[in-house]
Chain A
């Protein structure tokens, strides 16, 4: 087992990893930018190293500084958390070269699944249903028209090199294709430097369903069930839950088995999440895979009782998975709200100093947060300040617990998304489990127009 792990991250996830390390008796090294000098993850790690100025590029994305920090502290493993360098095959390779165990998949698997086109191909080959598409960039208008006709409208144009909603256009009618193609290409060129676009079948109001997997270095792979993350705004998830109110036991078993087979086929190790779109008829289409720990992992931990971060550490240390598929049970229901430092109506970021911070405990409540009274929420990093997760015997109890927890939570000094979360938790469609990635449109100030850029697609 490792004696010292360096956590190449910050905020709540750095604390999460520190928790797992402490429970396993492993020493921790925190790295921090100048802006995070007084952060909790620095305070609670056994050692800490300042790696750069506030800008992420100079600090949390700075591979030489992070590796150097591991060297001077003698860390024998590195956990990248999520975001930042967690899906950087480069960091994984450098770790390997420096004899620091990277807690995640091998670099070649990170590369494979990180390339959307290659990932689709590999999944298709492994028998995973993928969203029908052009299977590569379209060479021009003529080919695009042909492909779109084969797929059947509506289709979506996406940037090969991109994400986050830019370089994307939904096309509902054939006569809109040419113009949308030109616009999407221009946007892709501007945003990502590469104008290549590909086409995909567009699923109206899909649900976002993702499957958590764990694989060890002895060939064992298990799935920990699904999470539904349909409540999103501009590809940013707001509320996640496990299990999905839309999946039957049978669908779960089948999708889980398919994903496990696919993970085995690409020799997937450590933690990963396979994301799918589910259409109204119950068909699943592979979207992409994330070769890292996810923000919303706590809901899975609640319904399975498995500590995913500890499993990650154990897997990286060469141990076998602590559970077999037959041991894994799904009990109860869990919901997570991502509390962001932003205006709940305009979504304008709200950095600043939190003067009072208090979340009630009580049965079935978990809080993953770096916030505390008199802490600074700086503008340099993402706006997530706390994850509030609840668990109940069923979905209704989990919702009721979340409602009362949010109502009794105090965050003074900055604005948070809590009022928005409460609105969602009182929405009849949400309560009925009628979710889709277009759910959040009802809370957006902008009215979607017919030809408008696709900002709200998930």
Chain B
């Protein structure tokens, strides 16, 4: 890992408005954090992002059935694969299964394909949003309880 790699990580973070980024390669671990001394999971502003790759059409979830999210793998330089999970529906974003409970996932967690990352409530139905890939959660874009629209970025996963 050299200065160029770190510059590219910083560029990636700036481009995708990440608050935190972690990369492990060749036995070296790099973690870059924006802002204050503690781990702040500062969500970036919620806004629709124009992603060049097509998002697979995800049907809105019926009651009880888990929903799948659109995942767009982004090729960073130096082999960094970042998958961005975008909201497949309109609703309210919740990080845990109920108020007071632990969040489904935190930054730094290893997540698996099919694992529930969050709930989006729409029309009184709780839709579970699952990860489409294996990897490490490297960013959370939305604050708990905030509304999301179709296509809003929810999470970034560093894909293995």
Contact = CB atoms under 8 A, between A and B. Distances in A.
B157 to A, nearest CB: 22
A331 interface: no
A67 B150 CA distance: 13
A58 B57 contact: yes
Nearest to B91: A68
Contact of A51 (B57, B92, B123, B150): B150
Interface string A349-373: 0000000000000000000000000
Q: What range describes how many residues of A lie at the interface?
A: 20 to 34
Contacts of B152: 50
B150 A64 contact: no
B60 A65 contact: yes
A98 B123 contact: yes
Contacts of A279: none
B149 A49 contact: yes
A102 to B, nearest CB: 15
- Most chain B Cβ neighbours within 10 Å, of A34, A64, A67, A73: A64
B151 A68 contact: no
Given A50-B151, A55-B57, A65-B60, A37 B48 contact: yes
Q: What range describes how many residues of B lie at the interface?
A: 10 to 19
Interface string A35-71: 0010000000000011111010011001011011101
Interface string B57-94: 10010000000000000000000000000000111100
- Most chain B Cβ neighbours within 10 Å, of A49, A68, A94: A68
A72 interface: yes
Contact of B123 (A49, A52, A53, A71): A71
B150 A53 contact: yes
A98 B151 CA distance: 24
Given A50-B150, A51-B150, A68 B57 contact: no
B55 interface: yes
- Most chain A Cβ neighbours within 10 Å, of B91, B92, B150: B150
Given A65-B89, A72-B90, A51 B122 contact: no
Contact of A49 (B55, B60, B90): B90
Contacts of B48: 34, 37, 50
A55 B147 CA distance: 23
Contact of B90 (A34, A51, A53, A98): A51
Contacts of B151: 34, 50
Given A37-B48, A52-B150, A53-B150, A68 B55 contact: no
Contacts of A53: 55, 57, 150
B90 A65 contact: yes
Nearest to B55: A53
Contacts of A94: 123
A72 B147 contact: yes
Contacts of B149: 49-51, 69, 72
Interface string B133-160: 0000000000000010111100000000
B152 to A, nearest CB: 8
Nearest to B50: A37
Contacts of B122: 64-65, 67-68, 71
Interface of B: 48, 50, 55, 57, 60, 89-92, 122-123, 147, 149-152
18 contacts: A34-B150, A37-B48, A51-B150, A53-B57, A53-B150, A64-B89, A64-B90, A64-B122, A65-B89, A65-B90, A67-B122, A67-B123, A68-B90, A68-B122, A68-B123, A69-B149, A73-B147, A94-B123
The 4 A-B residue pairs whose C-beta atoms are closest, nearest first, are A72-B147, A68-B90, A68-B122, A50-B149
